[in-house]
Amino acid sequence: MKLQTALALALFVGLAPWVSAQPASQQDSIMQPSRVDQSQIGQSRDERLARDWGLGTEEWTRYEELMDGPLGIYSPNLDPLSALGVEARSDEERRRYAELQVHAESRRVEKLLAYQRAYDDAWQRLHPGLQRVSLPDATLGGMSIAGSGRTAVFVKDDCTLCASFVQRLQAAGTEFDLYMVGSRQDDARIRDLAKRMQIDPTRVRSGTITLNHDGGRWLSLGLAGELPAVVRQVNGQWQRQP
């Protein structure tokens, strides 16, 4: 045992002068990753994210700069195409980002519908003849959701696409009932969400848009896919809309 300890100490003592004799830059490279490597990793990540959205690296950099400014405060979860489109510097830029977003949304909806069909098939195989739970009647904000013929929109706080999705519905003049999943029955959470989504208070006061707690309704629907979700009652059944 003493012999092993002595050998270990001898190796350490022999190594110490070699380490101390190296230039500071070489010692740093031994002790920690190169800053150049870290920069290359960050650049590679940015290029990949930009490519996923159909953007160039300069456009991605502009998006990050926009989200570091007032836009990121008002709409912290705004997607890159919406952010660049809202802050477009020309009509040509605005058209480009609108077209990119149409393509992106189309691909997303196709995936959602494909999964919805797979979910429906799985339900029929695993629970043949069993009815799904219907959306319970609710009188939130003085309005009944069941049979109202209105559009129900389900969103949550940490949803990347929810804000831009709701803003597009609002801009189109759509009347809808907004349900916040995970609100914990806290009115302040819904008010804060509505403010960040830039929902027009006058439309809330007039009742063309209502703000509601989800209260477990999204789970009771048994519909597949991520939020946001637009749901309407069709022939007595609540169905997700593309």
Please report, as a single letter, which amino acid is at residue 100: L
Strand partners, 176: 151, 209
How does residue 12 score in pLDDT terms, banded at 50, 70 and 90?
A: very low
pLDDT single digits (tens) 145-177:
444 567 889 999 888 788 888 988 888 888 899
Q: Does 229 have pLDDT greater than 60?
A: yes
CA 171 – CA 174 distance, rounded (Å): 8
| Strand, coil or helix: 154 | strand
User: So what's the pLDDT on residue 146?
Assistant: 45
CA 242 – CA 230 distance, rounded (Å): 7
| Strand, coil or helix: 45 | helix
Instruction: Return the exposure string of 17-46: e unless at least 16 CB atoms fall within 10 Å of the residue's CB, then b.
Output: eeeeeeeeeeeeeeeeeeeeeeeeeeeeeb
pTM: 0.44
Of the candidates 42, 53, 49, 47, the one whose C-alpha atom is nearest the C-alpha of residue 84 is 53
How does residue 8 score in pLDDT terms, banded at 50, 70 and 90?
A: very low
* Spatial contact of 115 and 224, defined as CB atoms under 8 Å apart: yes
pLDDT single digits (tens) 48-80:
889 989 999 999 999 999 999 998 887 777 889
Percentage of residues of the chain with pLDDT beyond 90: 17
Of the candidates 225, 222, 214, 149, the one whose C-alpha atom is nearest the C-alpha of residue 179 is 214
Sign for the pseudo-dihedral over CA of 199, 78, 82, 86:
positive
Q: Does 207 have pLDDT greater than 80?
A: yes
